[in-house]
Structure 1
Amino acid sequence: MDNTTAATNLTDGMHILTESLMANGVSKMYGVVGIPVTDFARIAQAKGIRYIGMRHEADAGNAAAAEGFLTGKPGVFLTVSAPGFLNGITPLKEATENGWPCIMIGGSSTRNLVDMGEGDYEGLDQMNFAKPFCKASFRVDNLEDIPLAVARAMRIALSGRPGGVYIDFPGETMGLSMDADAAKAMIYTVNDPCPAMVPSQTSVDTAMKLLAGAKNPWIILGKGAAYAQADEEIQNFIHATGIPFQPMSMAKGLLPDDDPLATLSCRGLAMRTADVVLLVGARLNWMLQFGKGKKWNPDVKFIQIEIDPAEIDNSRYIDAPIVGDIKSTMKMMNEALKTTPVKASAEWQQLLAADIAKNDARFAGKTASSEVPMNHYNALGAVKKVMDKNHDVYLVNEGANTLDDCRDIVNQYLPRHRLDCGTWGVMGVGLGYAIGAAVTTGKPVVSIHGDSAFGFDGMEVETICRFHLPVTVMVLNNGGIYRGDFENLGTDGDPSPLTLDATAHYEKMMEAFGGKGYFATTPDEVEQMLAEAIASKQPCMINVQLSVHAGVESGHIGNLNPKPVTGPLADSEMVDDPAVK
């Protein structure tokens, strides 16, 4: 065989990696190219993987994580070495905290130079650096290991509690070559990467007996319940038992928010009075006050459906743990209703319903107000009117007041149609999630940001325009972090640490890249512009002008801020929104 013939039957690490990903169902990849992964991205695109080139690695990672949440299959993103890799670590860790499957592929520098510390271009021991931030991290040094690495990453990302996996690809591995026929024979599809984890019948029976004896049972649905795609099983159980339920933010829509059993506006009363709580894909972390303390009934008992045994008893004693996947568990609990009937009392339902009616009436006045300059309540009240007519539009949400008030005001009607800051409460996830949702589903997305949150990833409006995605970005601009009327307590004349530009025309950014920009100053304008933007299915941005006085510090979690004991802030309280009459 001459050299020309031999060369035509060769392949390389970039092609083997592409074919291994495709053999395992990867059809999309998000990333930022550069040394040493540029040619790999082009090869992947040529072979049929849709490559979404982003403006920042963190946004690429968030897009991939969103795909993992929405599909139940790992989203994949690509970074360059060292600085690009470090930018990708944050979304990889966020995905792991959220329990979403995600695979990060990082190009890296020459191994021997990195190991010897000789100062290679962007040299960093990326494999070991990544280990604390994800479920698994490994490096591929041999071509023969590429299919194994992809299969292993798929299995680890999906099995147990889902999460992130990092695969390190040194540039020299990408460029190695071998016989193409031998390489093709190595490619395989992972077999049953996420088998069902069926709980013990004893644990289900114990939980059912506890529920059957409850006077005031309550169900809390977490984003794990949404991820599990056990929608029918969960809906059937709630409606069969009549147990009131509380969806955490990304579980909204598992049942419609206007379901009569939903407790969205009486959470406080339910926490104080529930005697047995069933946790479905929800963890007793900071968002639920760890299941203890003055906000909870001191005698409450917990049933926890959890796929990770280490989570049981993590914050407090769990009276009836069920270790298993949610779909299998809910099937067994529905079946158990035949022998252990569970029915919430009318008195319990009515107690909560009365509190809901009172709170909703009080809230309605705020959201229906036509006051200008607008505040978060009446601006988002206008958004609610539009979203109530567009159930299949995906909602992405980030900010402080913008996040908290949108979660409370805007209803969801379908599962997995809301994405937000998640377990870590991270800012800067919004446009990555919006792009991931639009690319994954092909459906319109409305991405609502506070002006501070928008600043973390605002350049992704160019990505939205470049790929002609049906994303409407809304920026609620009150001119600051939390709000825009803070004063500098010093004498240097600089803006306050919380001050941003209340006069900024963010919509011009979208126009700069060919999208449609809107500037809204009244609730009626918000409603009309949002309806028009969604219907267009084109890149749009609505800059919503709020009062600089609108908002409270840290939204609903201002209690997490340490309080100064002396100085001008010692006696300050910012718990009321001065822009809301």
Structure 2
Amino acid sequence: MNGARWLVQALAAEGVDTLFGYPGGAIMPFYDALHGAATGEHALKHVLVRHEQGAAFAANGYARASGQVGVCVATSGPGATNLVTGIADAMLDSVPMVVITGQVSTALMGTDAFQELDVFGMMMPIVKHSFLVRRVDDLPNVVAEAFRIARSGRPGPVLIDLPKDVQIGDASHLPAHAPRPVDEASRPIDASLHAALALISQAQKPVVYGGGGIALGDAVQAFRTFVDATQIPTVLTLRGLGALPSEHPLNLGMLGMHGSRAANLAVQEADLLIVVGARFDDRATGKLAEFAPNARVVHMDLDTCEIGKLRHADAGVRGDLPTTLTALTLPCAAHLHGRNGAARRSWRATCQQRARDHAARYDAPGDTVFAPALLKRLSELAPQAVVACDVGQHQMWVAQHWRFNDPRQHLTSGALGAMGFGLPAAIGAQLQQADAQVVCVSGDGSFLMNVQELATLRRYGLPVKIVLLDNQALGMVRQWQELFFDKRYSEIDLSDNPDFVAVAQAFGIQALHVDRRDQVEDALQALLAADGPALLHVAIDTAANVWPLVPPNHNNAQMLDPTDTEAEARTTNPSPTAEDSRHAISA
């Protein structure tokens, strides 16, 4: 029983059944310990990806789809550096992960040994906690704390950097691993609940603003009960989608840069924002100084640091979200249906009428494939599907047009906006839910960033269905260059893309191609009916844009849509700042 074998048993004791990784020199004792671990009472399945970034994103997708801790493994040096993007994504989107990296033996640390890097220091800004294990005897505490920290409070990734000599050291004297319970979520204090209730009872134009914290806090049912009881119009962030079903009569849609007109106008005119598990991200708020200018704020969140960070909270309610929402539901409903009831009913009717008036249209002219219509139809054909998105225009079209009924159906790189996320995240989700329908929606730019994971799909026979929207460009960057850089298109041309159908077939994956809308229905039916993994390559117009769009340095009421002329776009929307331009890539 050496340290590596003890660690394998500890992972099984923590409930880990699947981990994603790629072997190498410094982590080889751990891989030796994994030999045969896929069988037995506590089987531990290792999934060999084809790039360490794929391992981090797959563990990330596994965790997002389930709420369980995702685990990935890599060797020292380049193995660890290749994990960085996936770990940063987990940190910024609060995804629970434990990351295990090999390290050179402790005697060689600091000598610039082969494949030695300061992984502990390198990872510190992008993890909740870093552990460098220097002795075998430290393993029980490190592993228990790593999983406890990853799960507790606001979830996130934790690093275990494991020197080779610790992996091979004698561990026969160590006790069997005992998982530690997560920290109990704090309950909101009564004074904060009273303050929130007072503000809500006075509001005439309230709006509920829900975010990703609803799913993270297991508060979906409590959130829906609160909205149903209070009958307050509701808007959702990108990562809050599904917290309220898309077809719910009070759901005005996503707010923000590519949000719905009904959602953005409601927020801008509201006299109270009831913010639940959201953080006033710049993509949601637009120009922060002009965001919801007439609204007071009730901010509910588990993380004290988020309350008042970007927008003053007139009533900050820190604590467990299900407890908070449950405590407020009946008192708020009683107040809202009493005083100011007529004003609130009128406000609700106005918001709902706007949602009808500005509902998305799917009757675009021409014979080419209209991506929003295709995605809407696919969501109708696969209503329970888990959707893993890459980043770009297709990501926003999915957010706008897919009918989500649960937030864990929607796996998307929100805060980091990492291209290459979609395919490995879909792999992780499929391995977590073997019977689920998992769909990856990608773009031609994003897809080539982790295309090698098609080999992982094939090896494990995972029935992930891929919809590849190919506009032969970096679409979101091209759209910004069209609107805000006087059509000076710089390094966005992907017209030399490979034949994606042939690429998929080369990996042993069946593939179809469509380029006309009259082909879409049959192609979608065939894609979903395919046995095993399959790819649908969809050629779309290079000039297609995502609408509506809130330009940089504008408030959310100042949306552009296709009716705006080129001249209006240039004169009313000055060029973005350097920071705006940088963010455009991840929009």
Instruction: Tell me whether the two structures share a fold, i.e. TM-score over 0.5.
Output: yes
Change (3 A) 1:251 1:316: closer
Structure 2 match to 1:101: 96
Structure 2 counterpart of 1:458, from 444, 447, 451 = 451
Structure 2 match to 1:566: none
Structure 1 counterpart of 2:193, from 204, 207, 228 = 204
Change (3 A) 1:270 1:527: same
Structure 1 match to 2:54: 59
Cα distance per residue 1:96-139 (max 9 Å; x no partner) = 11111111100011223232x3x311011211221122110011
Q: CA deviation at 1:340?
A: 4.8
Structure 2 match to 1:284: 280
Moved more, 525-534 or 69-78: 525-534
Structure 2 match to 1:235: 224
Q: What are the within-5 Å matches in structure 2 for residues 66-77 of structure 1?
A: 66-77=61-72
Change (3 A) 1:485 1:424: closer
Structure 2 match to 1:346: 345
Unaligned runs of 5+ residues in structure 1 are: 1-10, 488-494, 562-569, 576-581
Q: CA deviation at 1:91?
A: 1.4
Structure 2 match to 1:142: 135
Q: Please give the secondary structure, in 2, of the residue aligned with 1:177.
A: coil
Residue type at the aligned position of 2:347 = W
Matched residues, number = 536
Q: CA deviation at 1:468?
A: 1.0
Q: Please give the secondary structure, in 1, of the residue aligned with 2:197.
A: helix
Cα distance per residue 1:272-318 (max 9 Å; x no partner) = 11111111111012122278333x33221111111111112111211
1:79 has 2:71 as partner: no
Q: CA deviation at 1:448?
A: 0.9
Change (3 A) 1:175 1:503: closer
Residue type at the aligned position of 1:368 = D
2:101·2:160 contact (CA, 8 Å) conserved in 1? yes
Q: Please give the secondary structure, in 1, of the residue aligned with 2:80.
A: helix
Q: Please give the secondary structure, in 2, of the residue aligned with 1:416.
A: helix
1:479·1:499 contact (CA, 8 Å) conserved in 2? yes
Cα distance per residue 1:402-433 (max 9 Å; x no partner) = 11122112221233101112112221211121
1:471·1:537 contact (CA, 8 Å) conserved in 2? no
Q: What are the within-5 Å matches in structure 2 for residues 303-382 of structure 1?
A: 303-337=298-332, 340-341=335-336, 345-360=344-359, 363-364=360-361, 367-369=362-364, 371-374=366-369, 378-382=370-374
Change (3 A) 1:368 1:154: same
Higher relative contact order (CA 8 A, sep 6+): 2
Residue type at the aligned position of 1:100 = V
1:379·1:523 contact (CA, 8 Å) conserved in 2? no
Distance in 2 between residues matched to 1:545 and 1:54, nearest whole Å: 28
Structure 2 counterpart of 1:23, from 13, 17, 20 = 13
Q: CA deviation at 1:500?
A: 0.7
Structure 1 counterpart of 2:178, from 174, 188, 200 = 188
Distance in 2 between residues matched to 1:313 and 1:14, nearest whole Å: 45
1:478·1:484 contact (CA, 8 Å) conserved in 2? no
Change (3 A) 1:349 1:341: closer
Structure 1 match to 2:154: 161
Unaligned runs of 5+ residues in structure 2 are: 38-42, 254-259, 482-488, 555-569, 577-587
Q: CA deviation at 1:550?
A: 2.3
TM-score, normalised by the number of residues in structure 1: 0.86
Q: CA deviation at 1:435?
A: 0.9
Moved over 6 A (4+): 483-487, 570-575
Structure 1 counterpart of 2:500, from 482, 506, 513 = 506
Change (3 A) 1:254 1:285: closer
Q: CA deviation at 1:21?
A: 1.2
Residue type at the aligned position of 2:235 = Q
Q: CA deviation at 1:353?
A: 1.6
Distance in 2 between residues matched to 1:243 and 1:290, nearest whole Å: 23
Structure 2 counterpart of 1:126, from 119, 129, 143 = 119
Moved more, 501-510 or 138-147: 501-510
Distance in 2 between residues matched to 1:290 and 1:98, nearest whole Å: 19
1:379·1:526 contact (CA, 8 Å) conserved in 2? no
Moved more, 276-285 or 404-413: 404-413
Q: Please give the secondary structure, in 2, of the residue aligned with 1:165.
A: strand
